[in-house]
Amino acid sequence: MEEYKMKIDAEGNVSAEREISERESSSKLNEILEMINNPDMPPGPIKRIIAAEIAAVNMQMLRTQNDPLGIGVKQLSEQVKALRELGKEVMEADIMSRKDFLNFDGKKFRFALDRYRDGAIEAMKTAKLDESTIRSILNHWQDIMRDKEDEIRRAIDKLDVK
């Protein structure tokens, strides 16, 4: 429950100031947020602080367990759930950042593939193959690869599952 400090000045003007609860003042959520926003921060230290935050919330739950309405305990329980979800998100984001993506339709992939093709053409010329044979090989290769493209994409997707 939020608490406010009421002040009345000499002229009778009333002002209210929200008091920071013990829980808010000791919370490490700002520190966790800063760590999450740092792309170079590994998930281990973030998870450790999240665990410490969960422990602090659990300690507060123990202190407020005699609350006859149980409102504080329910709110704290929701905080624990949110912190656990946050921990899962941190791990999932770390996994996604390490995932090896291959964009078949991207400029970089096409560029690399064109360079390999150029290398293959150079190798065929070095082997003294004539231009019509080289074009024939490349056309057959293009047809074969077009037929296998879906199969290759599926096989690559399965690599992520393993």
**Owning domain of residue 154:** 107-161
Residue 120 pLDDT exceeds 90: yes
Alpha carbons within 13 angstroms on the beta-carbon side of residue 120 total: 14
Number of domains in the chain: 2
- Same domain, yes or no, for 40 and 91? yes
Nearest to 82 by CA among 114, 57, 112, 115: 57
Are 93 and 118 part of one and the same domain? Answer: no
Q: Which of 98, 125, 143 is a domain's end point?
A: 98
Regarding pTM above 0.75, the answer is: no
Residue 78 lies in a domain: yes
**pLDDT tens figures, 9-18:** 888 888 777 5
